[in-house]
Structure 1
Amino acid sequence: MAVDRVKPFESLTQALTTAPLLLMPDFKLPFKLYIDASGDGLSAALHQVQIINDEPVEGAICFISRQIKPTEARYGASQMECLCLFWALEKLNYLLRGCVFEVIADFTAVNSLLNMKTPNRHMLRWQIAIQEYRGNMTIAHKDWNIHKNADGLRRWPLPNNIDNPAYVLEEASPQISIEGISVTDLNTTFFEEVRSSYTQDKDCSILCQLLTKYCKDSSSIHALDWIGRKPYDEGKFHLLDGTIYHRTKNTCVVTVVDRSSINLVLKECHYSPFSGHLSEDRTREKIKTCIWCPMWKKDVSEYCKTCDRCQKANKYTGKRLGNMIKIQEPSRHWEIVHMDWVTVLPPGGDRGYNACLVIGDRFSKTPIFLPCHKDDTALDIALLIWDRVISWTGIFTNIISDRDPKFTSAIWTNLHQLVGTKLSFYKDHHPQADGLAERMIQTLEDMVRRFCAYGVEFKYCDEFTHDWCNLLQALELAYKTSIHSSTNKTPAILEKGWNPKLPHDFLRKELVEIHPTAASFKGTLEKARKHVVRCMEDSFA
Structure 2
Amino acid sequence: MIRAPVLALPNFSKPFIVETDACGKGIGAVLMQKGRPIAYLSKALAAKNMGLSTYEKEFLALLLAITKWKHYLQGNHFVIRTDQKSLKHILDQRTDSILQQKWITKLLGLSYEVQYKKGSENRAADALSRVEHDRGESQANAVTTQIPLWLQDVQDSYERNTLFQTVVQAKTLDNLAFPDYSYEAGILRRKWRICVGSHGGIREKIIKSMHDSALGGHSGINGTYQRVKPLFYWPTLKGDINTWVKECEVCQRSKHENIPYPGLLQPLPIPDQAWSCISMDFIKGLPPSEGKDSILVIVDRLTKYSHFLPLKHPYTSSSIAKTFFDNIYKLHGLPVSIVTDKDRVFTSRLWKELFSMARVSLDMSSAYHPQTDGQTERVNQCLENYLRCMCHQKPKKWAQWLTLAEFWFNTNFHIGLKTTPFQALYGYPPHQLSIGPYMQNHHSEVEELMQERAKVVQLLKENLQQAQQRMKLYADKKRTEREFLVRDEVFLKLQPYKQTSVALRKQLKLFAKYYGPYKVLEKIGKVAYKLALPPGSKIHPVFHVSLLKKKIGTRYFPSVSLPDFEDEVFKVYPSAILARRLVPRNNVDVPQVLIQWSHGSPDQATWEDYKDMAAKFPGFDPWGKAQKKEEGMSRPLAETRS
TM-score band, normalised by the shorter chain?
Answer: 0.3 to 0.5
Q: Kindly indicate which of the two structures has a greater share of residues assigned to helix.
A: 1
Using the size of structure 1 for normalisation, the TM-score is 0.39
Q: Kindly indicate which of the two structures has a greater share of residues assigned to strand.
A: 2
- Computing the radius of gyration from Cα coordinates, the structure with the larger value is 1
